[in-house]
Structure 1
Amino acid sequence: MLITEPSDLDPASTEPITIGRPLLDHLASIRSAVLDALASGGPVYGVNTGMGALSKHRLTDDEQRVHQRNLLLGRAVGGPPWLPADEARAVLIGRLRTFLTGDAGVSVELIQQLVAVINSGRRPAIPASGAGSAGEIIPLAHAFGSLDLDLGPKEGIALLAGIPGATGRAALQASRTRRLAGQLTAVAAASIAVIGANRDPYHPLAARGDDVLGAELTRLRDLAGPEPDPRSLQAPVSFRVAGHVIAHVRRSLDQLEAAVDRAFDGVNDSPAYLDGEFIGTAGFHGIDLAAHCDHLTAALAHAAEVSTARLHRLLDPAVTGLSAQLAHEPGPQAGLVAVHKRAVATSHAFRRLTLPSAISTAETSNGQEDVQSFSWEAVGVLGEAVRLTREVTACELLAVHQAFALSKRPIPGGLHELLRAVANVVPPIEADRPFGEDLTRLLESVV
């Protein structure tokens, strides 16, 4: 992946990174100007002063030589559980991308060291939670303090500044949610098709003034295929509102992606070197990113609850015209009733994630930091929300697979690929068995 401008760098990509020479030359010129400005001896926060409540303390030349490394060592107070490797990579890429704007004024050598670490596959142990400060100093101290990086003036504080980790992780979760939204649409359409639901609720004319909803209704209608004689004038609400629910997920996702772009394109460093001077900023606060992570988490929670409700209806002969609980032999066999129970438990756990992360104020650093947005925590909750949504979706998909097998209905063309993928990992269900194993295979290879 050749990077010629910061926006080329995608935290969700796994390709090796190369920074183009013109961009490196531009960054080298900024670094030269930064070093000249620092040589003037004026106070620059975190460079020739202490941090936080100790910012009034001026550092001697000897103290400055060890200060940048000390900034990382003393703040690495986190512990397990650690981020998975792909999220740790996203943190490193997020930091690298903010450096490429030039605001931090770090050296080309440090940038090339970060590129080498990312491309090497080495992943530092970064705590998944416990940021506990304005910004994300604690996880960033773990991300970079354990790496063998040569640090020059201002480079330690630059590694700790802003919210690059939450932004990189949010970009990764947004990419996962984009794929998940397609799965939500396909599974809902399959449920609509297998019960022979009336297609009126998915008519594009019902989306007047809402292009996102209109596109979603069209997708559902196309995937569900031609309408047979409907079993009833109205399907249960959980089927009828599928378009609105998934459109809301997609809209929330669009808004999060816009917030990610704003976080990456805005001023993340503090003090930032802007137009020839050092300016202290509040780019560490991250309320925009935290709020949109929370918004998408709530949208996914609603989607999971609606999916759980549809799954329950798929077990009801009055809705499907099929055997009770989709059992091959109802009575001697329980069918998929316990699969629904797992989805219920997952949805219940999901509800506890929907408290907004930013609704919490706490003082640290002797009152120097007296409010926080907890954007690091918010994106962690979003990652868990994506996982739980996938789990519920797999439960509904297993029921759809069995319903089609029992109904002998033809599978609409748009759903062939999805249901073929299910059939490749889920053997025919002719008797009760440990369905958790089927769900695990679906999560590993389909959903």
Structure 2
Amino acid sequence: MSTTFVIQPGQFKLSDLRAIWKSPVKLALAESAYAAINESSATIDRIVAKGDAAYGINTGFGKLAKTRIPDEDLELLQKNLILSHSVGSGELISDEVVRLIIAMKIASLARGFSGIRASVIDTMIAAYNAGIMPAIPVKGSVGASGDLAPLSHMTLAIMGEGPVRVNGQMMDAKAALEKAGITPVVLAAKEGLALINGTQVSTALALNGLFLAERLLEAATITGALSVDAAKGSDAPFDPRIHAVRGQPGQIATANIYRTLLNGSEIRQSHLVNDERVQDPYCLRCQPQVMGACLDIINNAARTLLTEANAVTDNPLVFVDTNEVISGGNFHAEPVAFAADTLALAIAEIGSISERRIALLIDASISGLPPFLVQGSGLNSGFMIAHVTAAALASENKSHAHPSSVDTI
């Protein structure tokens, strides 16, 4: 971690998040953020001192919200919250996604609406910079109540509880913190709830999908252009006039990319005249329409996820100007779910048109290339079964693209 990224709360750019995802960088928090953090924490202290009931501060949680907790048990309340909610299952979330989770949670808490002490945020930063990655199981959140279970596993690490990963090796959090010279956190009133209520895990997983989808779109666009040349297709379908009259921005941008990639092609020059084909199959000709629509979806998802990455999504929220703690529902991840579902649609469609190009290229009657792209076909099956695998994967993608966001009760 040679590079240090300074978090300015609420000001992440997509490029910032992509950089954190791609490789480890040290984190620091802008000094200007600490005033709002301290004011928010002081508001919680005043509420506790006053003795008024406030959800998550001196009450139980969820259906136990009407249970009043004595002041002497407020620290234990927060500790018990984390321990009882650390019940995720499945494989562990990868380090690149965990880095996003922690960075976004730090930025959210640092906006000054969560009532958490600066020392807790500083401990999160110190543990992150020491390479201590919480062991967070991938399953356990339904997204509609905040990512409670996975964020509890995140919080265990700074408490010195549970397992963590350091340089890819599993070890106890307590030992990892001790080795790094970091004192485990003892959570105060509201802090446990602030740490585990939010959409950072859902958003990080969706961002991971977004960044991979961007790579997929780029690779598929390049291979699509190569396929046009391989099949001696026409570049006429990429004429800017065609796309201008429709007006779809992704389609216009994508057609321009195909024109650029195919510009100066000697293969294209070789069959400009005396080519008996009138037009190419859809999988070549309609690439700007399909891939352009996918580009628009990916860009729309990126806007939603960037907004969420900069958001405050825990509950209740602290408003220092009026000395109030107000319960709401920012933990509900519906915007993230819709973005992830549309990303899945785009990914599936990119796969489908890619499979159709493979089918075209191995079919000698259409492509003009050797059957199954191999000399001596018959003795050698070439890409026959590779295409079958592609068809199987394209079919599987359809089931993965079924919207998960509709499965809410």
Q: TM-score, normalised by structure 1?
A: 0.77
In the other structure, the counterpart of 1:140 is 151
| Structure with greater strand percent | 2
In the other structure, the counterpart of 1:30 is 40
Q: 1:7 aligns with which of 11, 23, 44?
A: 11
Q: Deviations over 1:30-72 (max 9, x none)?
A: 3223322332221111110000110000001232120111111
CA contact (8 A) 1:11 1:169 kept: no
Shift of residue 332 of structure 1?
0.9
The amino acid across from 1:222 in the alignment is T
**Distance in 1, Cα, partners of 2:17 & 2:261:** 31
The amino acid across from 1:202 in the alignment is F
In the other structure, the counterpart of 2:308 is 263
The amino acid across from 1:112 in the alignment is D
In the other structure, the counterpart of 1:18 is 28
In the other structure, the counterpart of 2:237 is 201
3-state SS in 1 of match to 2:102: helix
CA contact (8 A) 2:88 2:149 kept: yes
Q: Which moved more, 1:277-286 or 1:122-131?
A: 122-131
Task: Say whether 1:328 aligns with 2:338.
Answer: no
**Distance in 2, Cα, partners of 1:2 & 1:262:** 19
**Distance in 1, Cα, partners of 2:9 & 2:407:** 36
Paired residues in the alignment total: 362
In the other structure, the counterpart of 2:55 is 45
In the other structure, the counterpart of 2:349 is 302
Shift of residue 311 of structure 1?
0.5
3-state SS in 2 of match to 1:6: coil
Distance change in 2, residues 1:60/1:344 (3 Å): same
Shift of residue 338 of structure 1?
1.6
3-state SS in 2 of match to 1:69: helix
Shift of residue 89 of structure 1?
1.9
Unaligned runs of 5+ in 1: 363-447
**Distance in 2, Cα, partners of 1:268 & 1:181:** 30
CA contact (8 A) 1:95 1:165 kept: no
3-state SS in 1 of match to 2:318: strand
3-state SS in 2 of match to 1:106: coil
CA contact (8 A) 2:234 2:280 kept: yes
In the other structure, the counterpart of 2:279 is 234
CA contact (8 A) 2:198 2:313 kept: yes
Q: Deviations over 1:70-98 (max 9, x none)?
A: 11100112222221221122222221121
**Distance in 1, Cα, partners of 2:139 & 2:8:** 33
In the other structure, the counterpart of 1:100 is 110
Task: Say whether 1:223 aligns with 2:233.
Answer: no
In the other structure, the counterpart of 1:366 is none
The CA RMSD measured in Å over matched residues stands at 1.8
The amino acid across from 2:136 in the alignment is I
Shift of residue 101 of structure 1?
1.5
Task: Say whether 1:116 aligns with 2:126.
Answer: yes
In the other structure, the counterpart of 1:58 is 68
Unaligned runs of 5+ in 2: 160-184
In the other structure, the counterpart of 1:289 is 336
Shift of residue 306 of structure 1?
0.8
In the other structure, the counterpart of 1:388 is none
Shift of residue 147 of structure 1?
3.3
In the other structure, the counterpart of 1:419 is none
In the other structure, the counterpart of 2:407 is 360
The amino acid across from 1:35 in the alignment is D
Q: TM-score, normalised by structure 2?
A: 0.84
CA contact (8 A) 2:210 2:343 kept: no
Q: 1:181 aligns with which of 217, 224, 235?
A: 217
CA contact (8 A) 1:72 1:156 kept: yes
3-state SS in 2 of match to 1:80: strand
In the other structure, the counterpart of 1:73 is 83
3-state SS in 2 of match to 1:81: strand
Shift of residue 170 of structure 1?
2.2
In the other structure, the counterpart of 2:385 is 338
In the other structure, the counterpart of 2:141 is 131
Task: Say whether 1:162 aligns with 2:172.
Answer: no
Task: Say whether 1:315 aligns with 2:356.
Answer: no
The amino acid across from 1:296 in the alignment is L
3-state SS in 1 of match to 2:139: coil
Once the two structures are superposed, the pairs formed by residues 241-256 of structure 1 within 5 Å of their partners are 241-256=286-301
In the other structure, the counterpart of 1:394 is none
3-state SS in 1 of match to 2:92: coil
Identical pairs, percent: 24
CA contact (8 A) 1:93 1:168 kept: no
Distance change in 2, residues 1:3/1:266 (3 Å): closer
CA contact (8 A) 2:90 2:137 kept: yes
3-state SS in 2 of match to 1:361: coil
